[in-house]
């Protein structure tokens, strides 16, 4: 059974999903790649995962750098999951580029190179916004490109974390 809950945040309402005690999704309502098959999901805002998530989001939007004690299980291809694992290693308040992630992935896989565009596709399909920090990935020219929740939200998240203007 997939459980769901709508959580209000400083940047707008988000939909969370969880299954078997693990967070499986966190999306800004209406964002690009918002899940389409939610008809069988059960609204259960008291599910323990969501209570922990709500507390952490409150702390995060207050500028606190911590990771929640939450099991996460994003659903995706092996390639997407490899990219998301790299995203999890980007420290709070820091950024990296799609090209840098592609280089890391190529080294991990023993390849001479990897497509930054393919990495961008995987980053864009990240199903657990903020916790898997896809907002910390920027263009090679330091531009704020490609955020499924919208560039305005990406900019706000980066400003929150870095205390600088992006």
45 is catalytic: no
> Is the confidence at residue 164, as pLDDT, over 80?
no
Select which of 57, 134, 137, 138 is catalytic. Answer: 134
Question: For the residues 14-34, what does the mean pLDDT come to?
Answer: 94
> Is the confidence at residue 166, as pLDDT, over 70?
no
The model's confidence at residue 142, banded by pLDDT at 50, 70 and 90, is confident
User: Tell me, what's the pLDDT at 34?
Assistant: 84
Answer whether 87's CB lies under 8 Å from 126's CB: yes
Domain 78-162: CATH class, spelled out: mainly alpha
Instruction: Identify which has the larger pLDDT, 138 or 38.
Output: 138
- How does pLDDT run across 84-115, given as a tens digit for each residue? 999 999 999 999 999 999 999 999 999 999 99
């Amino acid at each position: 059974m997939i459980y769901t809950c709508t959580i209000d945040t400083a940047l707008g309402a988000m939909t969370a999903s969880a299954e078997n005690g693990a967070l499986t999704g966190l999306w800004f309502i209406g964002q690009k790649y918002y899940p389409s098959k939610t008809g069988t999901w059960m609204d259960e805002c008291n599910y323990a995962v969501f209570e922990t998530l709500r507390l952490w989001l409150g702390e995060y939007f207050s500028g606190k750098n911590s990771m929640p004690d939450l099991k996460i299980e994003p659903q995706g291809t092996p390639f997407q999951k490899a990219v998301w694992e790299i995203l999890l290693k980007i420290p709070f308040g820091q950024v990296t580029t799609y090209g840098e992630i592609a280089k890391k992935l190529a080294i991990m896989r023993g390849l001479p190179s990897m497509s930054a565009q393919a990495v961008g596709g995987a980053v864009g399909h990240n199903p657990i916004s903020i916790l898997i920090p896809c907002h910390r990935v920027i263009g090679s020219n330091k531009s704020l490109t490609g955020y499924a929740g919208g560039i305005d939200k990406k900019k706000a998240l980066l400003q929150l974390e870095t205390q600088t203007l992006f």
